[in-house]
A and B are shown apart, each in its own frame.
Chain A
Amino acid sequence: MKSEILYPGAFPMVRVDLAAGESIKAESGAMVACSPTIDIESKMEGGFLGALSRKFLTGEKFFFQTLRASRGSGEVLLAPTVPGEIVILELDGVNEYMVQKDGFLAGADAIVIESKMQSLSRGLLGGEGFFILKISGKGTLVLNSFGAIHKIELKPDQEYIVDNSHLVAWSATTSYNIEKATSGWVASFTSGEGFVCRFRGPGLVYIQSRNPGSFGAWIRQFIPVSE
């Protein structure tokens, strides 16, 4: 399996070349185009309950689609819903990544996707909800973001502060605490940051350059009120 990002920038697409018999799982609706040798199957990853919990708990799609090169090699074009960059990670089987609910685009068949409950404070204040995706296994993982993706590399015990709504993915070797952006409660919110995540290395943190929630609030003022 080989993957390549086409048109990098705001409106990218991923081309995945599949050898005969290979398959890739993708977020439902992510397929843009594919060779006629590719079969599209709908699959409840993690079984019915797993799919159900993913749907209700993380807000991710109930079904993932599996694209299988069952009749010979072929290629698949995949794209996310929102404008923003795509990043391709190679999971080595040891590294695990936590991915916020909209971040997953596609992954090799061998990667494992689970819904994971966060701790209370992270779930309540972290801005990703109580449940996130935990992705492990070995193979290609394709993430998408809103805006550009920026990678932060943390050495052991190195700290970094991230606005919680800009998180895309982070490795399981990092840890983070939720804290107020400034020392005072009022200033915390008037500064426009509210809560932030203090990450501690080692590991990687992927962040997105735009905040979907703020963008939604901004665009709302231009939407004509119906009725």
Chain B
Amino acid sequence: MISNALCFGNEFPASGAPCVVQVEGDGLTIIFESEGTEGAREVILFSALTVSAGGLDHDHLVVKWAHALGERTLYLKNHDVIRAFRQAAPDQLNAPFEQAAERVRQVRQRHRVLWAAVGGSILALVLGLWFGADLLVEVAVSRIPVEWEQKLGDSAYRDFLAHQEVMKEGPAVTALGEMTQRLTEQIPNNPYKFEVTVVKSDVVNAFALPGGHVVVFTGLMKKADSGEEVAGVMSHELNHVLQRHGLERIVKSLGLMTAVAIVLGDQQGLVGMMKQVGVELLTLKFGREQETEADVKGLQLLQRAKIDPSGMIKFFERLSEKDEGRMEWLSTHPMSTARAERLKAELAALPKKSPEPFTFEWKQVQASLGSQPVVAP
């Protein structure tokens, strides 16, 4: 027979003596199987018993009775035996049984409530962080001085230039200089010193680094049909800098990574992560909201600078239609008709201003880039 209970008493080992409990009509029969008490049998009448709940999780039924050698305690866990016991037990044991059951229910209920409370507060914390993250990022970013931002941008800029060929002079540089000047003149209280660099590369791309470095690839200029189109991209990128979007992304991703590193207990990784920031800057992708903000503010800036804003929209639309060459700018600036539509609506809402043309001839600028071979006379 397999033991289904443990009996404790003065003459038994502290871990209890395994025994078989059988429920009879008028009491319990306990058959001991442990050595020394081989086959020993004890019959206890229901009238001599008390019952309660016990054990680590209050999931044992504890039965006590007086014995010649001192008090005996029985720990029952087998559900079938407990059920049979309860059915056979006389009325006077009903109340203690009910109390024991109530105690088990109470303990379980308390555990459930506590766990629900803890689960709930963890969930609340996560949700709070999730939705409050933008606000936290904004506060953190607003506390970072512009000089830090510039240093961060400078180091990333130097890293980037190490592998690139820069166009130092020529009509393209002059043209971009004119655009930048016309745009920046319209920025009130500008804390940034914008520097535009032209990089010789067929990649259709342009990006801005925190602190004011704007990089335009010759590929993008070759792709553009007019100076206004490039100015549109410039205006968009300048606004990424002005709205400190780069910094926001860094704080956000760093914050997330820091949290992950802390959770995983990886301090070494944290240091490595800090070093990673410079690299991160170059592959920075802005969020959808940041893009929209840069679009709208860019459009307003163009308007103030009296540069035809439709160039910006046209360029965006053209880029979204065709997928020619390596349009890096697209991968970081996903185009959609919705985006162009939004800009058109935004433009319609702005007061009309008569645009002033640039002093350069765009075709000549492009020719200097070598995109359209100059036909020899």
B54 touching A173 by the CB < 8 A rule? Answer: yes
| Interface residue range, chain A | 20 to 34
Write the nearest CB–CB distance from A195 to chain B, whole angstroms: 17
Q: Say whether B14 contacts A93, CB under 8 Å.
A: no
Render A85-108 as a binary contact track against B, CB cut-off 8 A, 1 for contact: 000000011110010000000000
A156: B residues at CB distance < 8 A: 8, 64, 71, 73
28 contacts between A and B (CB under 8 A): A93-B3, A93-B18, A94-B3, A94-B16, A95-B16, A119-B114, A120-B111, A120-B115, A120-B118, A121-B114, A153-B13, A153-B15, A155-B10, A155-B14, A156-B64, A170-B56, A172-B57, A172-B60, A173-B16, A173-B54, A174-B55, A175-B55, A176-B56, A202-B6, A202-B8, A202-B14, A202-B16, A204-B14
Residue of B nearest to A199 (CB): B56
Chain B nearest Cβ from A216, distance in angstroms? 13
Interface: A154 (CB within 8 A): yes
Q: Do A153 and B58 form a contact, CB below 8 Å, given A173-B6, A173-B75? A: no
Confirm or deny: B4 has a beta carbon within 8 angstroms of a beta carbon on chain A. yes
Is there a chain A Cβ closer than 8 Å to B5's Cβ? yes
CB pair A95 B6 closer than 8 Å: yes
Q: Which residues of B contact A201 (CB under 8 A)?
A: 8, 14
Residue A137 lies at the interface, judged by CB distance under 8 Å to chain B: no
Number of cross-chain contacts by CB at 8 Å: 71
A94-B3, A173-B16, A174-B56 known; A202 and B118 CB under 8 Å?
Answer: no
Assess whether B5 is in contact with A94, with CB atoms less than 8 Å apart.
yes
Instruction: Tell whether A3 is near chain B: CB-to-CB under 8 Å.
Output: no
Contact check: which of B6, B56, B73, B118 meets A94 at CB < 8 Å? B6
Known: A154-B14, A173-B54, A174-B55. 12 other contacts (CB 8 A): A92-B3, A93-B3, A94-B3, A98-B56, A119-B57, A153-B14, A155-B8, A155-B10, A171-B16, A175-B56, A201-B14, A202-B16
Across-interface contacts of A92 in B (CB, < 8 A)? 3, 18
Taking a contact as CB atoms under 8 Å apart, the answer to whether A203 and B114 are in contact is no
Determine the distance from Cα of A120 to Cα of B107 in the docked complex, in whole angstroms: 12
Is B14 within 8 A of A94, CB to CB? no
B68 beta carbon closer than 8 Å to chain A: no
Is residue B345 within 8 Å, beta carbon to beta carbon, of the partner chain? no
Contact with A along B1-31 (1 / 0, CB 8 A): 0111110101001111010000000000000
Q: How large is the interface on B (under 10, 10 to 19, 20 to 34, 35 or more residues)?
A: 20 to 34
Selected contact of A119 from candidates B14, B15, B73, B111, CB within 8 Å = B111
Contacts of A171 in B (CB 8 A): 15-16
**How many Å lie between the Cα of A120 and that of B64 in the bound state?**
30
Chain B hits for A174, CB < 8 A: 55-56
Give every chain A residue within 8 A of B114 (Cβ-Cβ). Answer: 119-121
The proximity string for A residues 168-201 relative to B, scoring 1 for CB distances below 8 Å and 0 otherwise, is 0011111110000000000000000000000001
Partner of A95, one of B18, B54, B64, B71: B18
What separation, in Å, do the CA atoms of A173 and B10 have in the docked complex?
16
Q: Are B55 and A172 in contact (CB under 8 A)?
A: yes
- Judge whether B15 and A175 touch: CB under 8 Å: no
The 9 closest A-B pairs by CB, nearest first: A153-B14, A202-B8, A156-B73, A120-B114, A94-B18, A92-B18, A94-B3, A173-B75, A204-B15
Supposing A171-B15, A173-B55 touch, asked if A202 and B2 sit within 8 A by C-beta, the answer is no
Query: B310-348, CB under 8 A of A: which get 1 and which 0?
Result: 000000000000000000000000000000000000000
Question: Which residues 192-212 in B have Cβ within 8 Å of A in the complex?
Answer: none
* A188–B93 alpha-carbon span in the complex (Å): 43
What residue in chain B is nearest A200 (Cβ atoms)? B54
Give the CA-CA distance A201 to B62 in the complex, in Å. Answer: 12
The minimal Cβ–Cβ distance linking B239 to chain A, given in whole angstroms, is 41
